[in-house]
Amino acid sequence: QSSTYSALWEQPKVFGSDVNAETRVFQSLECFKKLSSFDVTSRGASVGLSGNGPGTLEYNIAWRDVQDPTRLASRAVRRQLGYSLKSSVSHTYVSDHLDRPVRPMSGYLWKIRSELAGIGLSDPLSTKFVKSEVTAHAVETLDASRGITAS
């Protein structure tokens, strides 16, 4: 079972500009026992910037603890067990052409998120990686009772 707790402070139109700032502190527990038999607990803070456009920029720092309560994790996961510090910068670009945000009837959405971790840290406990994620979703209603959805 996964859970996340966070507190968020949002400042729209920073110094009268079109830039919005967001500061968040969080604690999360991600449970991967069904797929990979490990848990990750993260505690940290993030600062994000967004404007009127489709992109956002975020800095994240988190203290992570990877545990293997089942003792069945793979060798690759076991090498990552214990504490680590993650300092990362991420950029997200979203192109949303859905007709409505909840239960859309037509349109498409795609999102690209890139993250670079290990920023400014030379500590051996720091996590270092580059990651990109792409998400796409398309919806088309055929008639009042049928539709096609692809993700």
55 in a structural domain = yes
The predicted structure's pLDDT at residue 34: 76
Confidence of residue 2 (pLDDT cuts 50, 70, 90): confident
The predicted structure's pLDDT at residue 134: 97
User: Is 121 a residue whose pLDDT tops 90?
Assistant: no
Query: Which tokens is 27 given?
Result: 């604690």
Three-state SS for 93-135 is EEEECCCCCCCCCEEEEEEEEEEEECCCCCCCCECCEEEEEEE
**Mean pLDDT over the full length of the chain:** 90
108 in a structural domain = no
Query: Which tokens is 120 given?
Result: 């400014």
53 in a structural domain = yes
Phi, psi of 147 (to 5 degrees): -155, 170
Find the domain containing 77 and state its range: 3-100+113-136
User: Is 123 a residue whose pLDDT tops 80?
Assistant: no
Query: What pLDDT, in 10s, does the model give residues 16-65?
Result: 899 999 999 999 999 887 777 889 999 999 999 999 889 999 999 999 99
55 vs 65: CA distance, rounded Å: 30
The number of folded domains in the chain is 1
70 Cβ contact list (under 8 Å, min separation 6): 33, 37, 38
Query: What pLDDT, in 10s, does the model give residues 104-117?
Result: 889 999 999 999 99
86 vs 17: CA distance, rounded Å: 30
143 vs 140: CA distance, rounded Å: 9
Question: Side chain identity at 143, as an amino acid letter?
Answer: D
43 in a structural domain = yes
The predicted structure's pLDDT at residue 77: 80
Tell the residue number behind the tokens 């400042």, with chain if given. 11
Question: What's the rounded mean pLDDT across residues 6-15?
Answer: 94
